[in-house]
Copies of this chain bind each other. A is one copy, B any other.
């Protein structure tokens, strides 16, 4: 319940965690006194920039479904708590996508804070800001907008990811585009959007603010890096006309830090290939391409025992990895990401911390047992800060 006052227990727990892991942050008792007084007076409290950065990074560290957590310290945290209007929010989201995708940074501001500690250069993924304009050099970014305040309405984005493709049900019943977004696309259409009816139309952003209600914004082309899919061996693959976007940016999860809820805090990493090749383009209720690719490969699809699904799946995933690499867009394969995850678990263990993980999400959706993450158990604790799925905004 976002209308409740901030829980003192959660606030205290977080402030102590922050000071335990950031020894240069000053005396914890003084900060606890401040926070206690602020909650008593206002029902909530305001995170310092360092607390916000650390809070978002540890929320990632605690995301038990995420295999990509090795680089949690390198998360770039954009403090957008003062952006109030739909235009400001839209401008920030465009800036986020540009920064995340290595495109030109936002016009309005490009202040950004990385790790709260001085050790970023030690991170394998750290690149100096000078590089920040190299398109395709995907970096993990989160934009944190205003927190929910007791009893007040707040801003949200209706989209579950900042970039997704429209889905259309044509008059003859045939589906075009991403079937998962047919309802959402219809909602956009009722709000006045006109999709082009193609397989890969980027959806508009639906930004809802207390002041303006919901408003739609079209993302500028240079904020939406996309990759056309080709195959290292099969020339016909390009003829399928497939593509996917470079930046997966989840925008429907609430960030919870020390009892404070940030209902709008979109974040992105880079893609693990299977998210595209083994889910978005392959699931029967998404683009459902395995039968199409199997037919092109000339496989016998009259019986399951030829493993035509598995063979088509592998070729689709080869194409994804190959195409992103050819386009210079950062992506990782599930074997590499699985190995990194185990390195993360081990590194955390050495730091005296447990790594909560959900086996059913960590194990990749293809070749599960061929990755090392399959062959072990994990802690399942719900540790905070963390990200939570809210009921849909619509």
Contacts and interface: CB of A to CB of B under 8 A. Distances in A.
Contacts of A335: 304, 309
A314 interface: yes
A290 B290 CA distance: 24
A374 B365 contact: yes
Contacts of A317: 307, 310
Interface stretch (A33-41, A220-228, A247-255, A275-283): A275-283
A59 interface: no
A276 to B, nearest CB: 12
B283 A305 contact: no
Contact of A363 (B325, B368, B372): B368
Contact of A360 (B304, B307, B360, B367): B360
Interface in A219-265: none
Contacts of A325: 305
Given A283-B375, A304-B333, A333-B304, A278 B369 contact: yes
22 contacts: A278-B370, A282-B369, A282-B370, A305-B336, A306-B318, A307-B317, A307-B333, A309-B335, A309-B367, A310-B317, A310-B366, A310-B370, A311-B314, A313-B367, A313-B370, A360-B363, A364-B368, A365-B369, A365-B370, A366-B367, A366-B368, A366-B369
A290 B372 CA distance: 14
A295 to B, nearest CB: 16
A232 to B, nearest CB: 8
A321 interface: yes
Contacts of A360: 359-360, 363
Contacts of A284: 372
Nearest to A374: B365
Contacts of A306: 318
Interface in A107-161: none
Interface in A77-117: none
A216 to B, nearest CB: 31
B370 A290 contact: yes
Contacts of A372: 284
Contacts of A305: 321-322, 325, 333, 336
A203 to B, nearest CB: 23
B365 A368 contact: yes
A367 B367 contact: yes
A282 B284 CA distance: 28
A368 B318 CA distance: 17
Contacts of A311: 314
Given A278-B370, A368-B368, 16 more contacts: A304-B333, A305-B321, A305-B322, A305-B333, A305-B336, A306-B318, A307-B317, A307-B318, A307-B321, A314-B314, A359-B360, A360-B360, A365-B368, A365-B369, A366-B366, A367-B367
A303 to B, nearest CB: 9
